[in-house]
Amino acid sequence: MLINYETDKGVQEVRQRLEEEAKKRGFGVLSTHEVTNILQNKGTPIDYTSVIVEICQPSSAQKVLSKNPYIATALPCRVAVFDQGGKTVVSTIAPTEMLSMFNEPELEDTARKVEDMIKEIIEESIK
């Protein structure tokens, strides 16, 4: 399941606010990928602005990775910010959905808390 939000704010403004809001809530911003620029530089352009921001909540990551190192394949949480139809879309895969692939039901509460925090981060970033 995707978590999707839309706003009239621009991609770069939302990206900046997303990074700030993530840090306020104890998430690390591990990397930001300027997808449009990367593809343009590789000679394979797209016709809209797209950015991916990778965020991680360290204590939650430690908890899930201590239980199952394969969960590292789903980390960090990636939040896409892109233009679509005159709006800016902010989208991510629900952590609870990703966790379901690993058959670790005892980590559901952790995934739910991270998911709720990511929703708060996105909601604040699009105001």
> Which pLDDT tens digit goes with each residue over 21-58?
999 999 999 999 999 999 999 999 999 999 999 999 99
What's the confidence (pLDDT) of residue 15? Answer: 98
The total domain count for the chain is 1
pTM score, whole prediction: 0.94
48: DSSP letter: S
Residue range 100-104: mean pLDDT, rounded: 95
* Phi-psi label, residue 15: left if phi above 0, alpha if psi -120 to 50, beta otherwise: alpha
Give the domain range for residue 72: 2-125
Percent of the chain residues topping a pLDDT of 90: 100
**Are 35 and 46 spatial neighbours (Cβ–Cβ below 8 Å)?**
yes
CATH, residue 21: 3.30.310.70
